[in-house]
């Protein structure tokens, strides 16, 4: 793995901040949460990632106390939380819609929670100032929400949410209303803010890139269940299911049957020929689906230097130019493979045209077996 390690393993303590057990919730006939078991650690940034309707907001709302489950347990800091009303829970929520008080100034919005908690005025002002500086809104504390841009409003909402020092901050697609450039900037700022304040963040998003950029761990959800939970590197590099392999980034999927598994290397018979994989574990003679990320594939005119890898022959069918990379669609027998090649200087890679014969080189450690 080449990416920097983040995640709970790199955190000093692994105390559980939020424990969720056997959580179920049905609305009318609709099973929003079928069965959720999840531990979220103190100081971690965990994203609930999944498509619209998979139940992520319902899970967040149950943690916040806006919704009661039909069954199950939620504890925060070791305390059974379900009997506690939302405003008394050690959590705060940031919504996509900001939910600021329109008639109050920025400063009064930020001070509001502290006033409710009866924090003395001088101390409250000090805390508000510190937090407003952190999210860089100190220069417009006297403005009202209608005098702010979307990004500025969301910074105020964040300041208001963290000034009370909740144990857990719940964020429901907070960047969803912002344009792409601002969203990308705030993703990085939010991640840095979370590290500075050390509060546990639970972040709902349907945007896989957002989840990858910011999170320590991601829970990939599908129809009321968590399909896979792991560090960003685990879920991206070692997806366990077809769903995760294709929802989180894209993957080429190849069905086959394991012929041999010896010394950590599997030989798999596929319609494209024999493929070798050196990660995961295999059972000889059993069917398996393999996933290969498009950016792990090398596209070359000559494969002679790659004799230890899997080599397939194909013809370039189409090329999608994204600026950052060339996405080649390459016909191999009756299949089309996606292979992404970084758009480096032409001296560093070969460029191909539609119709060119090419070799696809797939390292054995990039051939990932899926469970289903």
User: Residues interacting with ligand ATP, by CB under 6 A?
Assistant: 27-28, 30, 32, 50, 52-58, 206
Q: How far is the CB of 30 from ligand ATP (least distance, A)?
A: 5
Residue ranges with strand state E in the chain: 16-27, 30-41, 45-49, 71-76, 79-80, 91-95, 168-172, 200-205, 217-222, 225-231, 252-262, 265-270, 273-277, 287-292, 298-300, 310-321, 325-332, 335-342, 357-362, 368-370
Provide, rounded to whole angstroms, the least separation between the CB of residue 32 and ligand ATP. Answer: 3
Please report the sign of the dihedral spanned by the C-alpha atoms of residue 298, residue 302, residue 305, residue 310.
Answer: positive
Select 58 or 252, whichever has its Cβ closest to ligand ATP.
58
Looking at the Cβ atoms of 204 and 254, the one nearer to ligand ATP is 204
Determine contact, residues 290/368, Cβ cutoff 8 Å: yes
Q: Which two tokens mark 352? A: 């191909």
Residue with Cβ nearer ligand ATP (54 or 110): 54
Provide, rounded to whole angstroms, the least separation between the CB of residue 244 and ligand ATP: 16
Q: How far is the CB of 65 from ligand ATP (least distance, A)?
A: 15
User: Least separation, in Å, of the C-beta of 194 and ligand ATP?
Assistant: 21
Q: Which is nearer to ligand ATP, 54 or 171 (CB)?
A: 54
Which residue number, 94 or 362, has a Cβ lying nearer to ligand ATP?
94
Angle at which helices 150-162 and 106-116 cross, to 10°: 20
Dihedral sign for Cα 34, 215, 192, 154, please.
negative
Least distance (Å) from ligand ATP to the CB of residue 210? Answer: 13
| Closer of 52 and 281 to ligand ATP (Cβ) | 52
């Amino acid at each position: 793995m080449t990416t920097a390690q983040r995640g709970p393993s790199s955190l000093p303590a692994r105390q559980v901040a939020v424990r969720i057990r056997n959580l179920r919730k049905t609305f009318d006939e609709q099973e929003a949460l079928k069965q959720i078991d999840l531990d979220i650690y103190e100081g971690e940034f965990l994203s609930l990632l999944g498509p619209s309707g998979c139940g992520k907001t319902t899970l967040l709302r149950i943690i916040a106390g806006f919704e009661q489950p039909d069954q199950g347990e939620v504890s925060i800091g070791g305390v059974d939380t379900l009997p506690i009303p939302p405003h008394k829970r050690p959590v705060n929520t940031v919504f996509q819609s900001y939910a600021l008080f329109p008639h109050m100034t920025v400063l009064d919005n930020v001070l509001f929670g502290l006033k409710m908690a009866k924090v003395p005025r001088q101390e409250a002002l000090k805390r508000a100032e510190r937090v407003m500086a952190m999210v860089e809104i100190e220069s417009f504390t006297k403005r009202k929400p209608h005098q702010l841009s979307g990004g500025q409003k969301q910074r105020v909402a964040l300041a208001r949410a963290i000034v009370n020092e909740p144990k857990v901050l719940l964020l429901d697609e907070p960047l969803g209303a912002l344009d792409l450039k601002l969203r990308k900037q705030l993703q990085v700022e939010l991640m840095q803010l979370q590290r500075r304040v050390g509060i546990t963040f639970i972040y709902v998003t349907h945007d896989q890139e957002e989840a990858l950029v910011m999170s320590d761990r991601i829970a990939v959800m599908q129809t009321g269940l968590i399909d896979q939970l792991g560090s960003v590197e685990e879920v991206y590099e070692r997806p366990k299911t077809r769903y995760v392999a294709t929802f989180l980034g894209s993957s080429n999927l190849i069905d086959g049957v394991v012929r041999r598994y010896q010394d950590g290397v599997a030989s798999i018979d596929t319609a494209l020929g024999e493929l070798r994989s050196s990660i995961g574990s295999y059972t000889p003679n059993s069917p398996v689906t393999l996933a290969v990320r498009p950016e792990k594939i090398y596209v070359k005119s000559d494969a002679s230097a790659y004799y230890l890898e899997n080599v397939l022959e194909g013809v370039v069918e189409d090329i999608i130019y994204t600026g950052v990379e060339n996405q080649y669609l390459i016909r191999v027998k009756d299949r089309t493979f996606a292979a992404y090649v970084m758009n480096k200087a032409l001296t560093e890679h070969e460029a191909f045209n539609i119709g060119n014969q090419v070799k696809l080189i797939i390292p054995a450690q990039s051939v990932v077996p899926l469970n289903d």
